[in-house]
Structure 1
Amino acid sequence: MMKQHQAHRSPLDLAGVGIGPFNLSLAAHLDAVDELEARFFDQSASFSWHPGMMLPDVTLQTSFLKDLVSATHPVSPWSFLSYLVANRRFYAFLNADFPAIPRQEFASYLAWVAAGLPGLQFGAQVREVDFDGYAFAVRLDNETFSARNLALGVGLKPATPDFIDRLRPGAAFHSSRAAFEIDRCAGKRVAVIGGGQSGAEIVLNLLGRGAGAPAHVDWISMRPNFLPLDETPFTNELFTPPYVASFHSLPEARRHTTVEREKLAGDGVSAETLAAIYRRLYVLRHLESGGPSADLLPHREVINAEPRDNGCQLIMRNGMDGQVDIRKADILVLATGYRYELPPCLAPLAGRIDLDRSGRPRPGPDFAVRWDGPASARIFALNAGLLSHGIAEPQLSLMAWRSAVIANALAQRQVFDVERPEAMVQWLDAMPHEAEAGGQA
């Protein structure tokens, strides 16, 4: 078990900034490494995983076996199966035979782990992190911790278009706040911008709200159609350690283009959600009266939004025929994704961290970023490696493997087996000397 840290004594081996699923996974792995002392900090009073996105009936797009620990430490007490057994719902869960497990179930699992793990400190905002030449100084409101290494797990920030700043207050909200704001849509003209899973879930919820439904829903996407998540077996090979290693070896420019090409492997809409939306539209059009009307508008780029007395006017370009479309909306729902941003507490170190052209740190194979400090003082970035490790990096799929890699790096030994399994797909050609050696065998 991780030892409980006493302030102002010898440095921690690791200080974690933020307690989301990724740092929670790392903490769960370090719980099995006796020689390492770690503590994780989060400004929230308790653990909560995307509460603003917990709409009814939303499901996980990832297998429950890709939990915090199972892929690399299956005997851990912090696995999803351990959670089911501890909460006496193992058999009921199996009998329910969910095609995809409820997101609320996985959130409950994460909260259960957060409540049981030692070394997690909630209600503790990290105000500043600096480096004194020997260790990182992690300053909270009333105390300072010293740490040899850092783990950044603060998550991504909502990405919103610039024109939002010109709209009246309350005219728009990001999908990350949907559960808190969606009731305001009753009886209104609503435009949902974004063709990924979040946008689809919000559209489905709006169309099925009964008396609390909006008067009209526009679903707007830049994509040429409302496209499904690609979760076929060979595409899922992108979410494996061998593929990540191959991707990481590519030149930076090629990694950028590869990530864009693979977008639907991680950001498409589940087939079940698309089918449910289509069926609901059928019912509203042919079998029910009085429900919300809806227009589905793919291949539209929202160029601008101009404020109006009752909401806004959207100006869009139709990518199919090149024409300009204009729509009015009382409320905009922005399912426009997220962006990476260094946490403000790292301001004293920001100029010392090497960033790529998108403003992200450059994590190495062990997820430690490049910076001008000593190699023994590492800054591990979790969920910063989309352009260094590929589309699996912001997903839950490989978080256990990443945590095991970081834990091994901290322990300087192979505590967890992270040797890459044999890949089903040969992503890169063998090096010339390897091919020659193979031919001589």
Structure 2
Amino acid sequence: MKNDKKKVHWLWLLLCCWTGSLSAASNEVQSIRIWPSPENTRVVFDLAAAPDQRSFALENPHRFVIDLRQHKAQSRLPAASGDASLIQNIRSSYTANNQTLRIVLDLSEKASANVFSLPPTGPYGHRLVVDFKGEQRELPVAQARAQRQPGRDIIIAIDAGHGGEDPGSIGPAGTFEKNLVLPIARRLAELINNEPGMKAVLVRTGDYFVHLNRRTDIARELQADLLVSIHADAFTSPQPRGAAVWVLSLRRATSEVGRMLEQKERHSELLGGVGEIIRDSTQERYLAQTVLDLSMNHSMVSAHQAATHVLAELGQITRLHRREPQAASLAVLRSPDIPSILVEVGFISNPQEEQQLRTAQHQQRLAQSMFQGLRRHFRESPPADSLFAQHRSREHRVERGESLSLVAQRYNVSVEALRQHNQLNGDTIRIGQVLRIPD
């Protein structure tokens, strides 16, 4: 009886191995997608099964080779969708004796590659991903770096969530989150750039993926005063709907400060000019922690204020899922030295809201509301060296016994100019009212 059980056990193992080999041998390339971005080029191979592969680079000319083992014979690769200047050609050959498909990517220049596989998720099955990083190119956004001079523009980095290989949430009608948030981000950037004293920069300008950590790094390189990340929410049931705004949780901020303290080579980048002083100090860690803690506190307070203003404006044109800013440990909010908010413009999983989010009219209303909230925030709390701060210094709070003519005389402007600049219908003013003084 024991021998019979052993035989059955071994037969079962052999059957599993044989079945597994058949499954592996049936792998094939179903499609190829190329995603170019300003910093790298991503090539995605959609596969029937998880890949068993090895890869290496060749020079003279520059090529990148991928060997897919246990691969079904494939006469030709499917045509690639998308293109990039780095990828000149993709070709293949097949070795029947060991069932290996060799894929050769002809490159226009030398580029380092990061190769990894991804399991099925969302609309995609098994994938083999190759990220090429070529010679360091200047990001288009880098030209928008703020000049730290009196009267400078307030810099707002706008991050359209997901992108490229990452579609984000998917609505009942098949709408990808990444395709909703980018046009909203572009509309918001246009409104900000039309406002004197404000400058917007898009973290991603097209349909490509930017690593979550890289998004906050880009904001820091820009010396951004605020990072706004735009997303659409989703839930397992279709009922939830409405907008919400998230800020960094204290727990996540504290852990990020600790992580930054360990990165001594980045102290100057994170702490500005103070970093050079701290570097030569025997009390480096304590000083760095003090400065970062102060920076974190300022950023969290500023982000909460901005989130509150944005929520108030959004509530005028759409339903709110949360009426107060929500704290979370989200990757894109991880920077304690840059105020950051994440705006969920609605639930893409709600059929009615999905359709509404797809319309240009609603996207414009959302962008307009976010802009008004951000402008209001920076008018109330402008950076000290900004044009907004200079304008704020030209404000007057009305005191007892003052009239419009007295205020106009004090600042050497006409009553009519003062009236028009503050959109007053008459000459009546009240105690405590703030009047903006025209230049």
Please give the TM-score of this superposition, normalised by the length of structure 2.
0.19
Between structures 1 and 2, the one with greater strand share: 2
Structure number with the bigger relative contact order (C-alpha 8 A, sep ≥ 6) is 1
TM-score (norm 1): 0.19
